[in-house]
Structure 1
């Protein structure tokens, strides 16, 4: 059971209702993350706005989902690992074994996605102060300086939703149950 109320479109503060309607229409259900964020309309607005902006970045959907799953795993957010696993498999059409490697913070068989995961871990571990060698390796994998900043953008989005979920201790929606992930030794 969530530690924070899970708002519905009817029970949410007025300012949250349009965002809840949008989220329900986009997902076909109301994710518990969104329902708990609705307690603070500005937090919900920020999350959805930054998610939309992140979706316009120069990183591909597969690369963005690698950032999200990597960050969620490090932050110990099982809800977000599950949610982004669903996106990675269904929308980004990533191979299940590749997604499992991302979830487990293992080396990836795809060199570009491995570079994204490694750089994401470096950004989080150093709070952005990555060593020159880490930035050089990311660039050598074919990424630009804009892409490096877009990884930071993705990490900022992940931090908001991961920390909100960890605070709320949201239960996984039934629609995401097949993608369940438990934080254990994965958490840095």
Structure 2
């Protein structure tokens, strides 16, 4: 059971209600994350607008964005997001092993590993990246624009992780175990 009551179409505020209605039409149900962050319609609207803008103007591929989401969710201990992003990562083309590796902070792809390393360094240092961390990212093909997008995606995913960690909605995706952080 959720720690906070999930919002419904009947209890949603004026900002959340049309978004939840749209989600129900698209998915055939309201995903529990939407019902959790939708407790505050401004937060739901802002989150989705930020996400849509990043996705529509992404410098990173869908697979690379999912590497970040899985790495960040596992680091933040968000069981809901690890499960949800494993589902979406597979749809984006990651294999089950690549999803598990991302949870562990690993990628076979050099740029993928650099993206994961940067996201983890952002989390571990509260974005106080050293010159060496930035140089390593750049030497592995990450541009200045991608550094900012990786930072934005790390923050956006952390927001969803934190909301889910607070609310603890029922996982409505196939459950995937968290992997202990190294």
TM-score category (smaller protein): over 0.9
Secondary structure of the corresponding residue to residue 12 of structure 1: coil
Determine if contact 2:65/2:153 at 8 Å carries over to the other structure.
yes
Determine if contact 2:83/2:176 at 8 Å carries over to the other structure.
yes
Match of 2:123 in 1: 124
TM-score by length of 1: 0.89
TM-score by length of 2: 0.92
Give me the whole-angstrom Cα distance separating, in 2, the residues matched to 1:163 and 1:39: 14
For structure 1, which runs of at least 5 residues remain unmatched after alignment? none
**Count, aligned residues:** 181
Task: Show CA shifts across 1:134-176 (max 9, x none).
Answer: 1111111111000000011001111211110011011101xx1
Cα RMSD between the aligned structures? 1.6
Match of 2:165 in 1: 166
Secondary structure of the corresponding residue to residue 14 of structure 1: coil
Match of 2:11 in 1: 11
Match of 1:102 in 2: 102
For structure 2, which runs of at least 5 residues remain unmatched after alignment? none
Answer yes or no: is 1:35 the counterpart of 2:31: no
Task: Show CA shifts across 1:28-53 (max 9, x none).
Answer: 43211110111111111111111112
Q: 1:24 to 1:136 in 2, by over 3 A?
A: farther
